[in-house]
């Protein structure tokens, strides 16, 4: 990974340890996982597994900050967990669990709410975007989303948070909250940093190359989901928006082609430059047909593994139970210290 680490560190004594860096990240089961989630986040989790001490969470409490169908949510939680495994997260190397199964997250979030200035929260761009799009009444939970995310990260003395570009501001506010708490009450939290790749940190919608690919996009043609079948992939790529002209080039004034080339490059494991050269003088049609094949081939083993895991639900429950057992002592220790520092009984 061509890592773009977001911040200078070493501000906390807890960061000075010689242990493997602690990594925490998660996906909200608020829809189906798409290739943007994979390219921006999950592929890096897989890549870091041996070097780091990883926790990957299914953040279901974040999912309910926007309205969810209760029956579907339950299924999505397990679908996301199974997809972590299918994408290559190895439960012998990484801990996987469901956020709401560990009540420490909600409790720490409450305590952090009480040290977070409301003005910081009002600046969160994702809240502004989501609340504008939402037709129903915007919940307090949606407003408070970044504080819960801070709790997720800080509970585990996390050093690194591998995420896509859209989560950068949330990790920054996590750092601010941690510093504020540490200086007001005493050292409790490691100061984490976002780890964001320079490639693929913001995969765009296939229907609108100026908007990010999003689980909550009402138009399914904008996203390629990890569980899309070959026909759906072919169809979505065939009708994907392109730029004017004929050249297959990743320039700034060709945002649609740049996006398609990024997807091709990452999933097909070939540089953008090599692709530009190969498709010189070749029309969009042929390029898109090849891209569809690359995506289908990339998804095939993930979907196969997913189906195997889905059929052995006992195994998945076991992975999540073991993950929870391993993370609980760490979050418990952090929370106990926080409670002590704050003066809670």
CB contact burial 301-329 (16+ within 10 A = b; e otherwise): ebbebbeebeeeeeebeebbeebbeebee
* Closest separation in Å from C-beta 34 to ligand TYM: 7
Nearer to ligand TYM by Cβ, of 3 and 285: the residue is: 3
In terms of DSSP H, where are the helices of the chain? Answer: 35-37, 43-48, 60-63, 70-86, 104-113, 118-122, 125-133, 140-155, 168-185, 230-238, 255-268, 272-278, 284-311, 313-342
Q: Does 163 bind ligand TYM (CB under 6 A)?
A: yes
User: Minimum CB separation from ligand TYM for residue 12, in Å?
Assistant: 18
Rg (CA), the chain: 21
- How far is 105 from 103, CA to CA, in rounded Å? 5
Q: How far is the CB of 343 from ligand TYM (least distance, A)?
A: 27
- Measured CA to CA, the distance from residue 223 to residue 35 in angstroms comes to 8
75 or 286: whose CB is closer to ligand TYM? 75
Pick between residue 199 and residue 303 the one whose CB is nearest to ligand TYM: 199
If the CB atoms of residues 167 and 334 are measured against ligand TYM, the closer one turns out to be: 167
CA angle 85, 213, 162 (to 5 degrees): 50
Please select the residue that binds ligand TYM; options are 23, 55, 58, 59, rule is CB under 6 A: 59
> Where does this chain touch ligand TYM (CB under 6 A) — which range of 18-26, 45-53, 178-186, 320-328?
18-26
Nearer to ligand TYM (CB atom), residue 5 or residue 285: 5
**Could you tell me which of 270, 262, 336 has the C-alpha nearest to residue 39?**
262
Minimum Å gap between C-beta 109 and ligand TYM is 10
**Contact with ligand TYM (CB under 6 A): which of 22, 58, 62, 78?**
62
Q: Does 101 bind ligand TYM (CB under 6 A)?
A: no
Site for ligand TYM in 182-201 (CB under 6 A): 201
The residue within the footprint of ligand TYM, chosen from 6, 23, 36, 335 (CB under 6 A), is 36
Q: Would you count residue 177 as binding ligand TYM (CB under 6 A)? A: no
| Spatial CA neighbour of 41 closest among 168, 228, 153 | 168
| Residues 211-240, interacting with ligand TYM (CB under 6 A) | 212-213
* 147 touches 78 (CB < 8 A): no
Q: Site for ligand TYM (CB under 6 A): which residue of 40, 91, 209, 222?
A: 40
Which residue number, 87 or 188, has a Cβ lying nearer to ligand TYM?
A: 87
Burial of 244 (0-12, 13-18, 19+ CB in 10 A): exposed
> How far is it, in rounded angstroms, from Cα 32 to Cα 214?
9
Nearer to ligand TYM, 112 or 153 (CB): 153
Bridge partner list, 22: 53
What are φ and ψ of residue 51, in 5° steps?
-90, -15
Q: Is 202 an interacting residue with respect to ligand TYM (CB under 6 A)?
A: yes
Count interface residues toward ligand TYM (CB under 6 A). Answer: 26
288 binds ligand TYM (CB under 6 A): no
Binding mask 239-278 for ligand TYM (x = CB under 6 A): ----------------------------------------
SS3 of 49-92:
CCCCEEEEEECHHHHCCCCCCHHHHHHHHHHHHHHHHHCCCCCC
Nearest C-alpha neighbor of 223 from the set 29, 30, 37: 37
CA atoms within 13 A on the CB side of 123: 9
Q: Which of 6, 12, 26, 147 contacts ligand TYM by CB under 6 A?
A: 26
Which residues belong to the active site?
A: 130, 212, 215
Please name the residue that has the structure tokens 């012998």.
92
Q: By CB under 6 A, tell whether 24 contacts ligand TYM.
A: yes
User: Which residues of this chain interact with ligand TYM, rule CB under 6 A?
Assistant: 24-28, 36-37, 39-41, 59, 62, 149, 152-153, 161, 163-164, 166-167, 170, 201-203, 212-213
């Amino acid at each position: 990974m061509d890592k773009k680490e977001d911040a200078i560190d070493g501000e906390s004594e807890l960061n000075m340890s010689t242990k493997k860096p602690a990594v925490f990240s998660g996906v909200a089961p608020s829809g189906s996982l798409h290739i943007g989630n994979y390219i921006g986040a999950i592929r890096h989790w897989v890549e870091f597994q041996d070097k780091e001490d990883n926790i990957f969470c299914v953040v279901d409490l974040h999912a309910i900050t926007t309205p969810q169908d209760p029956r579907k949510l339950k299924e999505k939680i397990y679908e996301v967990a199974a997809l972590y495994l299918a994408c290559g997260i190895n439960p012998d190397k990484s801990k996987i669990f469901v956020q709401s199964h560990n009540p420490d997250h909600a409790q720490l979030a409450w305590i952090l709410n009480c040290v977070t200035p409301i003005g910081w929260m009002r600046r969160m761009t994702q809240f502004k975007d989501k609340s504008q799009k939402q037709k129903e009444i915007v919940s307090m939970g949606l407003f408070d989303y970044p504080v819960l995310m801070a709790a997720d990260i800080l509970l585990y003395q996390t050093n690194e948070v591998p995420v896509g570009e859209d989560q950068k501001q949330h990790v920054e506010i996590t750092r601010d909250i941690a510093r504020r708490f540490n200086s007001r009450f005493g050292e409790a939290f490691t100061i984490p940093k976002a780890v964001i790749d320079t490639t693929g940190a913001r995969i765009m919608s296939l229907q609108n190359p100026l908007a990010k690919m999003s689980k909550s996009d009402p138009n399914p043609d904008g996203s390629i989901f990890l569980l899309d079948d070959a026909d759906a992939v072919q169809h979505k790529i065939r009708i994907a928006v392109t730029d004017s002209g004929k050249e297959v080039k990743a320039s700034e004034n060709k945002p649609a082609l740049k996006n398609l080339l990024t997807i091709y490059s990452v999933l097909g494991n070939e540089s953008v430059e090599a692709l530009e050269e190969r498709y010189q003088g070749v029309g969009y049609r042929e390029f898109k047909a090849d891209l569809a094949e690359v995506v289908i081939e990339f998804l095939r083993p993930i979907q196969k593994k997913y189906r195997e895991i889905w059929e052995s639900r006992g195994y998945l429950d076991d992975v999540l139970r073991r993950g929870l057992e391993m993370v609980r002592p760490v979050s418990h220790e952090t929370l106990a210290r926080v409670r002590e520092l704050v003066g809670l009984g």
